[in-house]
Amino acid sequence: MDIVLLGPPGAGKGTQATRLQRALQVPHIASGDLFRALRQSDSPLARQVQEYMDRGEYVPDQLTIEVVLNRLAASDAQDGFILDGFPRTLPQARALDGALDDHGQRVDVVLYITAPEDILISRVAGRMICPQCNTIYNTVTKPPKVDMLCDNDNHPLERRSDEEPEVVRRRLSTYLAQTLPLVKYYREKGILHEIDGSAPMDEVDSVVNEAVGLGVVS
């Protein structure tokens, strides 16, 4: 099954991606992870991406499309995938559809997870991550057992500078404006499922499971 996850920062996409990856046994492909990996590599494509990231600019559609489609061509993604952070624009969505169509595939389900702005800001501003194992914590919803230390490896947790409340508010505004055309695009295709990410976790899990045709998944 080929799944696209849409939703603003703090909506809960990462939580659902982890659940679905485990249940469906398909890769969770996050565009942010792909770009971070490119920063550590040395290739013509990596150098082009690094130039934009070093300037703090968005990577242009064409480069973003090339990075993601290269990953989707890998053998582990041939039986399905969970895309997170891509597509972000209509040209990206159309390029994805075209590439999948060439291989007899298509996006099966789009999960659009969102929540009220105040909840999103609270979640993102309270987020911490372990730089060693990439486990995400939250001061409200998932605090570590020991303050600012990872439960898994005792490594000090970090907060991102772009997750201060005012910065998050601007990111949300930009994201929502950018995403509206995508929501319309996938709704017209009849594959969009809108999910209230502020609902209790078991309710969100149940709605997601139904959307992708799963039974109870822990």
Query: Is 145 one of the catalytic residues?
Result: no
Query: Is 184 one of the catalytic residues?
Result: no
CA 133, CA 146: separation in Å to the nearest integer? 16
Query: Is 13 one of the catalytic residues?
Result: yes
Query: Is 169 one of the catalytic residues?
Result: no
Count other C-beta atoms under 10 Å from residue 198's C-beta: 18
CA 218, CA 190: separation in Å to the nearest integer? 27
The one catalytic residue among 22, 160, 170, 184? 160
The one catalytic residue among 19, 71, 123, 171? 171
The one catalytic residue among 55, 127, 169, 184? 127
Catalytic residues: 13, 88, 127, 160, 171
